[in-house]
Amino acid sequence: MTLPERDEPTGALVRPYAVTRGRTRPKLEIALEALVETTVRGRSTGAGRGGSEHQYIAAMCDGGRVQSLAEIAARMQLPLGVARVIVADMATDGLVAVYEPTSLDDESDAVGTELLERVLSGLRRL
């Protein structure tokens, strides 16, 4: 599946509150670094009736190309909160699978260092 053609990113065409129908809180809490992948249902239904944003995310995260929530927001030029609401809606509908990072132990400096290294690694891949 190829990514849909887009003249302008969503953020340039529509106010963020219109994309999320005025909602600012996601149905699920999704970490910034959580990975998103289109499910079989998401592929077979064409991302449901969610509109062009849903279709674009489904195409972007299909075929083994998992994307982080941050990457989705950046590629669509949407505020992170808006992308989080859209992806949470899609996850609730079974259109995407969200893989949360492992839980972190705040008491360990090694864990904090590990998190920073994962963030740096993700930035280098961009």
What CATH number does residue 53 fall under? 1.10.10
Tell me, yes or no, whether 2 lies in a domain: no
* pTM listed for this prediction: 0.67
pLDDT digits (tens, 9 = 90+) for 24-57: 677 788 888 999 999 999 888 765 566 788 889 9
Residue 78 forms part of a structural domain: yes
**b/e string for 77-96 if b means 16 or more Cβ within 10 A?**
ebeeebbbbbbbbbbebebb
Task: Please give the pLDDT value at position 6.
Answer: 47
Range of the domain at 52: 18-124
User: Token match 């989080």: residue?
Assistant: 84
- Domain membership of residue 6 (yes or no) is no
Number of domain units in the chain: 1
Determine the pLDDT at residue 19.
67
pLDDT tens, residue by residue, 72-96:
999 988 888 889 999 999 999 999 9
Domain annotation covers residue 13: no
